[in-house]
Structure 1
Amino acid sequence: MIVNRQFRLKRRPHGRVERADFDFLESPVPEPAEGQAVARNLYLSLDPTNRIWMTDMEQYMPPVALGEVMRGGGIGRIVASRHPGYKEGDLVSGLLGWQDYCLIGAPGELLPPAVIPDGLPIPLPTLMGACGMTGLTAYFGLTVIGEPKPGETVVVSAAAGAVGSVVGQVAKILGARVVGIAGGRQKCELLVKEFGFDAAVDYKAPDFLAQLAAATPKGVDVNFENVGGTIMEAVVARMNLYSRMPLCGMISTYNEDTAPRYDLRPFLMKRIRLQGFIITDFKDRFIEGSMQLAQWHMEGRLKSRETVVEGLDRAPEALNMLFDGTNIGKLVVRI
């Protein structure tokens, strides 16, 4: 009998995610009712927001309830359908969950998965990364909120990650000078040599602040913030008058039980425009953004990197790679 393996949230994590925070269960593969379909999951996307969803706090989606299948983005293939919007063989992308099979059209579904057009010459992991939701996060956060102008200095933290690596490349395409912040010499070299950043700063180095100052001699016009904490504070101190700060994430704080406190005076004195955003804010423009990212990728102007972990059963441990900084580019699990 074919079974559906599922990670169900057992308890709310404190600090790092542990396998004991989940029940790993097996159940029969669901049969679709009228208006439903079943997708066989192929790849699972691991993102910092997974950690937020596990927490019972105010957020942009309801937290995952205890006993529910852990929420997660992914790509799958329709294996059975009684839904007019899906046919067997379709590739779909959406919130498929930490499981082998997803029932689409079930009660309580937050967002219906989207059908991926046939024949795209882009690998599936890249369709979740540089040309997928993380790429769209980078694209809209930078272009709509950051509004970089040619010659301006753009700084992006977690720059070797899925979102940050795309932010830097898009900023370069738009004519900006780009500085990436990453952990370790290897990642910093990758940013410059492979992704085309103008400079990279190692936040783990004892002279981090001096490196940052040297890399931003004219200050910072756009700070695409992914990390928060002391790294964010260091960049904010170098931001220019009327600069912009798209706030995409604060990954350094997600494993903490208490919220950080920040000095907001620089935002007032320098009239910095700070705006948080969630990618679903731009859902009406997804097709536009996806087409642009895919075009740049096929032209070789947008490069992608993926860290692929083998096996659904490794998802909880793999998620911590995001917080340890051991992944490069998009982190996915091949199921």
Structure 2
Amino acid sequence: MWPANQTGDGSFFLLGLFSKSAHPSLLCFLIFSIFLIALSGNIILILLIHTDSCLHTPMYFFINQLSLMDLIYISVIVPKMLTNQLAGVRTISLLGCGTQMFFYLLLGGSEYCLLAAMAYDRYVAICHPLRYPVLMNRRVCLLLASSCWFVGSMDGFVLTPITMTFPFCRSWDIHHFFCEVPAVLKLSCMDTYLYEIFMYLCCIIMLFIPVSVISGSYYFIILTIHRINSAEGRRKAFATCFSHITVVTLFYGAAVYTYMLPNSYHTPEKDMVMSLFYTILTPVLNPVIYSFRNKDVTGALKKLLRAGKDSY
């Protein structure tokens, strides 16, 4: 059991975004709207992938996993933030804080690995198209996805208990809108230098392996595309990779800023803006970037809408 030495009832205070805003009600409405868009976009995408047989391919299997991660991601953080604002409170219990931290670490670590698995999938599809059904069969896809969730869960199970067992005596105020590890560590009255080094090394490993897989995959993809004689063929090959590269750049860039840049680069305001981007905005962008610009997905959506009309 974590020690309840934060407040009289074992709670932290999330100062959050709204205390910094000149128009908190407008900001609350905006975040709520983004939350609804993210929920609906990812739920629709998951339903389409499950119901349309044309989308039963490895690429959409991984996109389905990404949408599931985004759904949990935004649901763990945003409802608590909005509820506190509407109720006029800022507290979060010790258990609630630990739960947020665990799921944030689990989903973040899982998504790092999933993006690498998706890069490998594009590599096999473009560089070995004839062997693609064998190399990326259902068993392989399930193994890759399970490995991603396992690595993320290990990240959560290791870092969350260690972070939450530090004695917090400097302040009970978390200068953030959720319980992110660096923000919580700032409250500790113990020297956390060694633990921060440990986290830094963990982050290097969590980033280095997936980035190596992604870089290697795209190196061979570029070589293969360069050998394609047809301009239309090259365009289609680049189109299948562009969405993935965009998401990788956004997600990994935010991770490098949060966990790998020195403290001198960080302020509570900058950290909140960066966290806002990859915890709230990225779940909205992923369905748009990956799929709703895709003809297969838009075709599946039109079929679903037509089936809905015909049933009435």
Q: Same fold (TM over 0.5)?
A: no
Greater strand proportion: 1
TM-score, normalised relative to structure 1:
0.25
- Which protein has greater RCO, CA pairs closer than 8 Å, 6+ apart? 2
TM-score, normalised relative to structure 2:
0.27
Greater helix proportion: 2
Larger radius of gyration: 2
